[in-house]
Each structure stands twice: as C-alpha cells, then as structure tokens.
Amino acid sequence: MSTREKYMARLAEVEREDQEKAARKAKRAQKIAETTSSASSPVQLSGQRSSTESLDHSVRDSAVSATESVVSVAPKAATGRKSCLCHPGENRPHDSYSCCKQQIDSIRWTGRVAADTDEDDVARVQALIDSGKVKRAATKAELLQRKEARGTAERGRASVLKEVVNASNKPVPVVTKPELPEGVTFFDPNQAHHFAKCAVLRGLNFQLAARDAYPLLTPFEASVVASVAEKDQNVRAQIEIEASQRGLGESDKAVYVSLLWKHALSTQPQNFQDRGNAMRILSKVFIEGQQQQQAPAHLVIDGISEGLNAMGLTPEVLASVQNNTVPVPDISEDDLAEEDSND
C-alpha cells in the first residue's frame, strides 16, 4: 500500500469515527428531549422539537468542522515532519528557526530574505537576520585569511619541533619518510636479501637494483624504493652479508670476467655505455696490465780487473772502503756566520 492510499484510508477512518460520534451525540440529545417532552405541553413539545433540530444541526456543523480540521492537520501527521512558516502554502520541511532550508541558505549566503517568502512572515525573518542568530557563511577573503593563519600555525609547530632537544642537547631532525608502494617492505628479510643481492650485482646502484628487484613498479615508485633502501638498516646489513660472501678467489674472478664479457659482447643499443666500460676494463687487464718478463742481459767487460789493479783498487782496498764509514765533520752556526762575513 502506497503512502497516499494509507493517508486516504486513515482520513476515511477518522471521518467515520467523527460521524459515529456525532450520531451518538444526536441520539443522546434525542433521548433527553423525549424525556423532557413527556411532561411538557404541545407548545413546549414543538419548541423542544425545534431546539432538538437546532441541536442536531449544531452537532452536524461541529462534526464537519472537526473533519475539516483533521483534513488540514492530516498532511503533517502523515508525513511526520513540521512545515516552515515562511512558505506555509508549499508545506516545505522545517530546518531551523521555523524556516526552511532555502530560507536559511539565503540568510547565510546573501543576508537577505528569500524572494518567495510569505508576506506575513517577512518581518519575522528580517528580525531573525538582524539578530545574527543564523551564522553567515565565510567570504573568500575570510577563507584566505584562515588558510594563511593555519599555514602560519603549522610552520610554528614545525619550528617548535625542530627546536626540541634531546638529552645530548642536539636538535631532533624532523624527517618525512616517503611511503613505499603496496607490497614492498624491507622488514621482510626475504625482500631485504633479494634487494641486497640485486644491489651487489649492480655495483650498489640502487636505482638499477630497484628496477631489477621490482620490475613491475613505475619509474617514480622505483626511485622511492631506491631512496628508502639506500638508508634502510636491514638492506645495509644484507648488503654486508652478501658482499662478504664474494671475495677475491678464482671463482669470483671468473664471475667478474664473465660479466665483463657479457657487457662487452652485448649488441643491444641501450647498453652502449656498459659495452664501452667493459671493453676499456678488459683492455687494461689483457693489454696494458700484461708485464713482459725479460731477463737482464749479462755484460762482460774485458780487462776490468787489470784496470782496477793499475789504479790501485785491489779487491782488498775495495772491501775496506765498503766496510768503513766516511766521517762527517760537525759544522756549527759560527762557522756559517764566519763564511758569510768572509763573503
């Protein structure tokens, strides 16, 4: 059953109850008239009959007026809401101060009475505006001023936080940590170890390591991951563990040389820089770094022994000269000053 059908059924029920009530009143009045007419004269009976008819008419008029009042009040009771006073003929719902929502909005935004307000209620609405009970909406200038004040307050709080000192009288830095993408966390040891392994293979280039570890991320998200991983303690610890496993043994050298040959022989255009670097390193190792092991030539001088003996440098003399130290004379400042004066 729709709301209108419920309303009409209730209205018919109220009208039927009013008719039954009026009929009971008429019967009661008729009984009173019959009891009083038995002891009265015909003239009185006729007068009583006329009074009874007038009473019956008055009862019917009261029933009709009651029905009309029920009809006028029924919309409010059926809808369960109170109508405003500024538009009584439109049955607008009451919002506040006996005014509808449209009237309150007109007061808040324009400060004037709505154009379609009932003439009998204009004075009351104007008095409501003058009283200032309805708070006016903020203008653009007021909103801008509030925004500037809020920004000043936030800057003040930030400066206060920066001035907070700890036990060692050092300012506490206020650092905003970037948010990692969904699913990326370095508290997971498996993810930290995987990222550290990619970073070691990429020569601690965290940007390339982030792309290798998380290939489905966007460039911006990869840069955020690289920035966080570079300062994360878990990733740093895993990098130390991963790097300590790679020493300078023959197997590590073979892996390093294989990586160099892989980059040097790459034909992809985007790897031209890696190819050049690999070729330069290999050239230093295989070309410039190869030292030629040549044995020194043995020079034979004919007649050197006879020449030394002729100069008096016999083997005994040479041995005595090599074993004895030549004394160095002591020179004082006075000797230097004397030489200067002689000059």
pLDDT recorded at residue 177: 58
In-domain check, residue 31: yes
In-domain check, residue 315: no
* pLDDT band of 54, cuts 50, 70, 90: low
Considering the domain architecture, whether residues 33 and 71 belong to the same structural domain is answered as: yes
Please choose, from the candidates 89, 71, 31, the residue with its C-alpha nearest in 3D space to the C-alpha of residue 55: 31
The pLDDT of residue 11 is above 50: yes
Considering the domain architecture, whether residues 227 and 279 belong to the same structural domain is answered as: no
pLDDT recorded at residue 340: 64
**Residues in Cβ contact with 211 at an 8 Å cutoff, skipping those fewer than 6 apart:** 217, 222
The pLDDT of residue 279 is above 80: yes
The pLDDT of residue 57 is above 60: no
- Pairwise CA distance, residues 61 & 100, whole Å: 36
Residue 329 vs residues 141, 196, 323, 333: alpha-carbon distances, Å: 96, 67, 19, 13
- Pairwise CA distance, residues 101 & 95, whole Å: 5
**Total number of domains in the chain:** 3
The range of the structural domain enclosing residue 231 comes to 178-246
In-domain check, residue 325: no
Length of the chain: 343
Please choose, from the candidates 95, 114, 107, 115, the residue with its C-alpha nearest in 3D space to the C-alpha of residue 135: 107
Last residue of a domain, one of 225, 246, 267: 246
Considering the domain architecture, whether residues 237 and 256 belong to the same structural domain is answered as: no
* pLDDT band of 331, cuts 50, 70, 90: low
What's the CA angle centered on 41, arms 35 and 43, to 5 degrees? 110
Which amino acid is residue 279, in one-letter code? M
CA atoms within 13 A on the CB side of 157: 5
Please indicate whether residue 246 or residue 134 has the higher confidence score (pLDDT).
Answer: 134
DSSP 297: P
Helix (H, G, I), strand (E, B) or coil at 39: coil
- Range from 53-67, 263-277, 296-310 that averages highest in pLDDT: 263-277
Please give the mean pLDDT across all residues of the chain. Answer: 75
The pLDDT of residue 66 is above 60: no
Helix (H, G, I), strand (E, B) or coil at 246: coil
- Pairwise CA distance, residues 234 & 186, whole Å: 7
Q: In b/e form, how buried is each residue of 60-77, taking b as 16+ CB within 10 angstroms?
A: eeebeebbeebeeeeeee
In-domain check, residue 170: no
pLDDT recorded at residue 70: 42
Q: Greatest CA span in the chain, whole angstroms?
A: 199
Which residues make beta-bridge pairs with 99? 96
- Pairwise CA distance, residues 241 & 239, whole Å: 5
Could you report the per-residue pLDDT of 188-219, keeping only the tens digit for each?
Answer: 888 888 888 888 888 788 889 888 888 888 88
In-domain check, residue 207: yes
Considering the domain architecture, whether residues 8 and 24 belong to the same structural domain is answered as: yes
Could you report the per-residue pLDDT of 15-47, keeping only the tens digit for each?
Answer: 888 888 888 888 888 888 887 766 554 444 444
Last residue of a domain, one of 79, 104, 134: 79
pLDDT recorded at residue 74: 41
Could you report the per-residue pLDDT of 69-94, keeping only the tens digit for each?
Answer: 444 444 443 445 688 888 887 888 88
pLDDT recorded at residue 73: 43
**Residues in Cβ contact with 122 at an 8 Å cutoff, skipping those fewer than 6 apart:** 113
The pLDDT of residue 104 is above 80: yes
pLDDT recorded at residue 56: 54
pLDDT recorded at residue 79: 45
Q: Which two tokens stand for residue 111?
A: 């400060």
Considering the domain architecture, whether residues 64 and 10 belong to the same structural domain is answered as: yes
Considering the domain architecture, whether residues 203 and 254 belong to the same structural domain is answered as: no
Helices in the chain by DSSP H: which ranges?
Answer: 3-37, 42-79, 101-109, 122-131, 140-163, 189-201, 206-213, 219-231, 233-244, 250-264, 272-283, 304-310, 315-323, 333-342
- Pairwise CA distance, residues 334 & 326, whole Å: 24
- For residues 278 and 256, the answer to whether their CB atoms sit within 8 Å is no
Which residues make beta-bridge pairs with 93? 83
Could you report the per-residue pLDDT of 141-160, keeping only the tens digit for each?
Answer: 888 888 888 877 777 666 66
